[in-house]
Amino acid sequence: MPVANTTIGFPPEMLVEIDEHADKNNMSRAEYVRHCVRQAHDTPFDEPRGTLTRDGHENIDEDRTKGAA
């Protein structure tokens, strides 16, 4: 899937929490933020799959080595 980069600002303490949750779930910061956007109650996007963590059987974002995030 092609990816477009964007800049978004977070308060420093919120970014620390985002990074902690991303690390805990073996995700990049970008993957975790995309997951959160998709699971928001009023999101116009498809809901994420049932699992948050990346494993050997499921690839959350197709190929994380392609594109910027």
- The range of the structural domain enclosing residue 15 comes to 10-40
* Residue 27 resides in a domain: yes
- In this structure, is residue 61 part of a structural domain? no
What is the full per-residue pLDDT of the chain (69 aa) written as tens digits?
A: 788 999 999 999 999 999 999 999 999 999 999 998 888 877 777 766 666 655 544 445 444 444 444
Q: Is residue 55 part of a domain?
A: no
Q: Is residue 3 part of a domain?
A: no
Helix 29-39 / helix 12-24 crossing angle, nearest 10 deg: 100
**Is 1 contained in some domain?**
no
Query: Is 46 domain-assigned?
Result: no
**Could you give the CA distance from residue 58 to residue 53 in angstroms, rounded to a whole number?**
9
Q: Which pLDDT score is estimated for 15?
A: 95
Count: domains in the chain: 1
In a domain, 31, yes or no: yes
Q: Is residue 25 part of a domain?
A: yes
55 three-state secondary structure: strand
User: Can you give the pTM of this predicted structure?
Assistant: 0.61
